[in-house]
Amino acid sequence: MILFVAQALFVATPFTPEHSFTSGVEGPAADKAGNVYAVSYQKTNTIGRVTPDGKAELWLTMPAGSLGNGIRFTPEGRMFVADYTGHNILEIDPATKKVSVFAHEAQMSQPNDIALAPDGTLWASDPAWKEGTGRVWRIDRDGRVSLVAQGMSTTNGIEVSPTGKYLYVNESGSRKVWRFRIARDRSLVEKTLLIAFPDFGMDGMRADIRGNLYITRHGKGVVAIVSPKGKLMREVDVLGKSPTNITFGGRDGKTCYVTEVQYGRLVSFRARYRGR
């Protein structure tokens, strides 16, 4: 008889060796087979793939002039990567590793993180770090790019609610998380402050099926779990002071994978609910 030992919830453990990724480690995203992809594996212009048991390998070297940041997979397995130096949203065929430009917008400062709505729309945060400002772009399913929010602080983490009704955007500079309602024409309306933190920065964030946001707190070394009503419910220690982004994966969608800069690695922890 084989016994399975349940892993404690919200307790982080190392997933990859220290310094297997550079200080630019970001992403991450999981495919249907349970592999986790993150950028800057050994070198900054790469994407690494980590098997479900934590074995990391070089998966792809980015095209000249491109550097990856946020990564998302669609339910059908399409892979999108924010290319912050090329001002692109790239699409990569996981089977052939062919890289193509899905969307390009020269006016972008640097597409940073991307969110995927239930209807297939992509949303991209676009911080201008030197100016301390930020914008949000919508990328339609045909690759058309539209500016939908501007005049913000440094926009960073971005996520869509499970129902597709709301878009959440955080600002690293102001330490605020904003909620927009997505209108029928997919414009953003009713900007509302969800939560503001008194210290430390924010980076990526993802939602579980209950609509709770998992927000990486850069400098504090935790993932903050915030309810849809803006209540801080829990903080999870991620074994390093500088987490950059987070995704859900694993056999049941309840394993969180976090990219962390201080030790150049990924860590993982189990959550109560699966990812959106």
Q: What is the pTM of this model?
A: 0.96
- pLDDT at residue 29 in the model: 98
DSSP string, 9-63: BT--EE-S-TTSEEEEEEEEEE-TTS-EEEEEESSTTEEEEE-TTS-EEEEEEPP
* 21 vs 266: CA distance, rounded Å: 8
* 78 vs 62: CA distance, rounded Å: 17
* 103 vs 127: CA distance, rounded Å: 18
- pLDDT at residue 116 in the model: 97
Per residue in 15-50, pLDDT (tens digit) is: 999 999 999 999 999 999 999 999 999 999 999 999
For residue 152, give the nearest of 166, 131, 167, 182 by alpha carbon: 131
- Which residue positions in the chain have pLDDT lower than 70? 1-6
Burial letters 193-209, b for 16+ CB under 10 A, else e: ebbebeeebbbbbbbbe
- pLDDT at residue 176 in the model: 98
- pLDDT at residue 6 in the model: 64
Cα angle 145-150-152, degrees, rounded to a multiple of 5: 135
| DSSP count for the chain of H helices, then E strands | 0, 24
Per residue in 229-269, pLDDT (tens digit) is: 999 999 999 999 999 999 999 999 999 999 999 999 999 99
- pLDDT at residue 7 in the model: 79
User: Which domains occur in the chain, in start order?
Assistant: 25-205 (2.120.10.30), 206-276 (no CATH)
Residue 164 — left, alpha, or beta (φ > 0 → left; ψ -120 to 50 → alpha)?
left
Give, in order, the Cα–Cα distances in Å from 239 to each of 175, 189, 249, 264.
21, 38, 19, 11
Of how many residues is the chain composed? 276
